[in-house]
Amino acid sequence: MLPFIDLGILQLPLYSLLFMIGFAIALLLARKIGGSYGINKDDIIFAAIYGAIGLLIGAKVVFFITKVPKVITHFEEFKKFIKNDTMGALNYLFGGMVFYGGLIGFCLGVLRYCVHFKVKLFDLADLYTPFLPFAHAFGRIGCFCAGCCYGIEYHGPLAIHFPYNELTPELSEVPRFPVQLLEALLNFICSGILLYIMNKNAKKEPKDRKLKQGQLLGIYVAYYLVARTFLEMLRGDAVRGKVGFLSTSQIISILLIPVAIFLILAKKKQIIFVGLPLTEEHKDSHENMVQDALKPDK
């Protein structure tokens, strides 16, 4: 386990570093591929920046929401905690990230960009989709290095015995199932499958394409809902919160089932938020906005 890289003057969290590496590689690949699909390369970059901001906010907000029930239950103790260790209390409330919150935040960030700059949402969504699990896989490898999102007690093949960690002292008590690495593997497989589907569909003439806009995203969401529901059974960090016998992530998975079904079954003309088609006036306006954004400050 290697949660930090010690640079002397500071400690660099390996989770953040690995996720940023995965995100950067995914973005570069999307930009390279996007040109062949007729998508403006600047839109690919700038929409992803909007998405990254939404990802960070969404992941933190949902993490905070998972902490609220415990704070309410132990409110008096938490008030003392804030008074005695304000930074520690803030770290407790916002120190982690929840993937589903990040995914929803990323989608909302990209949507905001598309609405503002009159870009077709699902052109970008279909392009980004294969790279979402790719970047996520790097994040899960970071989780493994940090010792978070750990698995249940496990004594079989490939069991991992983590060293002692002050932040999660229970982690080293027993051997653990390497659920983070399993999820990373499933994400890499998912990314490969989605890329194959996307490229196979793109080679056909538009009238012959069976895959409609948004369906690739629906396939990914459906795949991950199923995978995450079963992966939760292998997770040992119950501190993330539960409602009855369901974890927070399993509840979100259930709530997202209608979204996956809608995206998979909807035909192109039935999708509501496809973005607005660019008229010549919009195209000129959009190009000017992009060029202005790229100009150095005087």
The pLDDT of residue 290: 47
Cα(first)–Cα(last) distance of the chain, in Å? 47
Could you give the CA distance from residue 37 to residue 151 in angstroms, rounded to a whole number? Answer: 40
Which amino acid, 215? Q
| H-helix segments, 85-178 | 86-94, 99-117, 121-128, 131-146
149-172 pLDDT, tens digit each? 899 999 999 999 988 877 677 888
* Domain parsing of the chain, residue ranges: 13-290
In this structure, what are the phi and psi dihedrals at residue 88, rounded to the nearest 5 degrees?
Answer: -65, -40
Q: How far apart are the C-alpha atoms of 133 and 197, rounded to whole Å?
A: 15
Read off the pTM: 0.81
pLDDT for 282 equals: 45
Of 59, 68, 130, nearest in space to 99 by CA: 59
- Calculate the average pLDDT of the chain: 83
Q: What is the per-residue pLDDT for 87?
A: 85
- Look at residue 117 in the predicted model and tell me its pLDDT: 92
With beta carbons less than 8 A apart as the criterion, state whether 135 and 15 touch. Answer: no
**Does the pLDDT of residue 66 top 60, yes or no?**
yes
Per-residue model confidence as pLDDT tens digits over 241-290? 666 678 888 888 999 999 999 988 876 544 433 333 444 444 454 455 44
pLDDT at 6 over 50: yes
Which sign, positive or negative, has the C-alpha torsion 149, 151, 153, 156?
negative
Mean pLDDT along residues 171-196: 94
> Which tens digits make up the pLDDT trace of 20-48?
999 999 999 999 888 777 889 999 999 99
CA distances from 171 to 76, 149, 236 (A): 28, 10, 9
CA distance 275 to 43: 13
Residue 118 backbone class (left: φ over 0; alpha: ψ -120 to 50; beta: rest):
left
Q: Look at the alpha carbons of 283, 123, 249, 253 in this order and tell me if their dihedral is positive or negative.
A: positive
Token representation of residue 250: 């399993």
pLDDT at 13: 78
For the ranges 21-30, 96-105, 286-295, the one whose mean pLDDT is highest: 21-30
Residue with tokens 């996956």: 260
Q: Tell me what the mean pLDDT of segment 211-238 comes to.
A: 89
Helix axes 215-231, 248-265, angle to 10 degrees: 160
Using a pLDDT cut of 70, give the percent of the chain over it.
85
- With 60 as the cut, is the pLDDT of residue 73 above it? yes
Residues near 265 by Cβ (< 8 Å), separated by ≥ 6?
Answer: 218
Q: How far is CA 151 from the centre of its chain?
A: 20
78: enclosing H helix or E strand: helix 75-84
Q: CA triplet 205, 220, 250: central angle to 5 degrees?
A: 160
Closest CA to 278 of 122, 40, 118: 118
CB-based contacts of 34, cutoff 8 Å, min separation 6: 40, 41, 44, 127
Both structure tokens of 212: 């409609």
Mean pLDDT is highest, among 63-67, 143-147, 220-224, 242-246, for 220-224
Winning range, highest mean pLDDT, from 26-40, 173-187, 226-240: 173-187
Q: Is the pLDDT of residue 211 over 60?
A: yes
Amino acid 153 reads: E
Q: What angle do CA 117, 121, 126 make, to 5 degrees?
A: 140
Residue 69: its pLDDT value, please? 81
